[in-house]
Chains A and B, each alone.
Chain A
Amino acid sequence: MELPDTFKKYFPFFGHNPHIIYLDSAATTLKPSSVIKSEQEYLERLSSNVGRGLYPLAETTTSVFEDARSTIAHFIGAKNEEIIFTAGTTDSINMAARLIEPLLSEKHTIITTELEHHSNFLPWKELARRTEARCIISPITSEGMIDTEALAHLAAACPAIIAFTAVSNVTGAINPVADIIKCVRTRCPGAIILVDAAQAIGHMPIDAKAWDADFIAFSGHKIFAPTGIGILYGRKALLESLSPCRFGGGMVLDAVADMPEYKNAPERFEAGTPNIGGGIALAAAIRFVESIGFAAIRNHEQRLTAYALHELKSALGAAIRIIGPDSIDQRGNIISFEIDGIHPHDIAHLLGENGICVRAGEHCAAPLHRALGLTATTRLSFSIYNTEEDIDQLVRRLKEIRKILT
């Protein structure tokens, strides 16, 4: 296993920003050289479009792009035709909502949860509004995890759709996805289940079949790939039964017919030129993660999380309220907190003046903040390039900030 300190060397960011302490990887991760190089190589050497040209260069691009799809499919235990390229998690979830829309009416129910990022919340609220279906928000526990019992109870009424997150972007809670789905399926076998894997994808192995989800959404930029690329996984049998919701080039067999005939999945759902370089770079990011291994990543992140929890509590004592599960095993790489009498905006701003990057606010999770009685929180999130020294500096500065503001 590599020494954690050596992970930094993969990220040219630190060459340009040697003094930055980046604790905002839940917002977006930094990019390793291998990923940057793969996108650059596409732009420089291949540059051509996919799926259309018959000349050798275009064929190469198509095969590199399709190889990327295989890498991604393999990474989450899926088939190639279950992988739809999108622009990111938000795009994936909105697309899933549009795909399901024709199946819904005022007789149906959609369930999402209080834990969700707005991008796994608003698309369902809006879908409910358009179709006159009912949207129910399943509650969370005081530790900021999905309340499985409550969700199971709601599932007994057989909702059409259940959408929930694997890992919370605020509490850092790792939900037991496979158990939740199993529990829900025994009560309502027919529900379409979508898992928001945005905060899980870079931190733990995902097996679509073991989860038994119908849709899985994630973004490339949360797993060391560029922004603007994401994935919507759809179970093959489900995708085959759905009509496309976006129309244009590359997805049609007979465009002239009165009733146009469309290609099979995934092409039928990928109208227009995709983010080719982004897709190739996402595959490179997956190879990067595989080269380090999830065991080492989890180990490193868990060690930092435990260290930070300990240091924050001992430096700030009763003045700090840490949100989320007590058990380190139920936590990912994220810690959100409140400090008595100091607004998160001031904390983030003053940390920022010292080159320490954290996030402050509601983190696109207003329902969660309401549910836990919070106005706003400060969020730290770790990745493999962080070290104990980063946390020491953060804690030192937090103590100074308390002196400045109280």
Chain B
Amino acid sequence: MSIYQDLILDHYRNPRNQKPVIAPTHQAVAHNPTCGDKLGMELRIEDNIIREIGFIGSGCAISQASASLLTEHTKGMLVEEALALDPEKTLQLLGVTLSPARLKCALLSLETLKKALHQHKNPPENLSTSQLPKK
């Protein structure tokens, strides 16, 4: 069975939350060395709740769909809940079984999210253009 199922194709063609966040409190960029893809993520966390989350960057269908699904899933979550997310949950959101080579694509969004949750921005500001993945 192809991994390019409707859910993934939908999130790839119409990504949710693919935009910078206004006044982000947390942000990070992560990198997939096998394809050179970069993914940026920004969050606004208030009262320990993820109020806003967005991602920036282009990549393969799997990494884009995964970022879309993961950001959709985490919006409104408690920080502790988001920190507890694991690869298994991310793959569950995608709904397909992936080969080891594609796992890196699927899990880049989770890696970026975890990194961002640990990178508090004070004062709030967006990712600088030099950090931004090329679109």
Interface, chain A (partner B; CB < 8 A)? 343-346, 349-350, 353, 360-362, 366, 369, 375-376, 404-405
Contacts and interface: CB of A to CB of B under 8 A. Distances in A.
Please classify the interface of chain B as helix (H, G, I), strand (E, B), loop, or mixed, using the class held by over half of its residues.
loop
A31 B128 CA distance: 51
A405 B12 contact: yes
Tell which of B4, B12, B60, B62 has the most Cβ of chain A within 10 Å: B60
Contacts of B61: 343, 346, 405
Contacts of A360: 35
Contacts of B134: 375
The size class of the interface chain B forms with chain A is 10 to 19
Nearest to B59: A343
Contacts of A345: 35, 60, 62, 102, 105
A350 B4 CA distance: 8
27 contacts: A343-B35, A343-B58, A343-B59, A343-B61, A344-B35, A344-B60, A345-B35, A345-B60, A345-B62, A345-B102, A345-B105, A346-B61, A349-B60, A349-B102, A350-B2, A350-B4, A353-B2, A361-B34, A361-B36, A362-B34, A369-B36, A375-B35, A375-B37, A404-B4, A405-B4, A405-B9, A405-B12
B3 interface: yes
Nearest to A354: B2
Nearest to B58: A343
Contact of A361 (B2, B35, B102): B35
A375 B3 contact: no
- Complex A-B, nearest 9 residue pairs according to Cβ-Cβ distance, in ascending order: A343-B60, A345-B60, A375-B36, A376-B35, A346-B61, A361-B35, A346-B60, A376-B36, A361-B34
Given A343-B61, A345-B105, A353-B2, A404 B36 contact: no
B64 to A, nearest CB: 8
A361 B37 CA distance: 9
A404 B5 CA distance: 10
Contacts of B35: 343-345, 360-362, 375-376
A366 B36 contact: yes
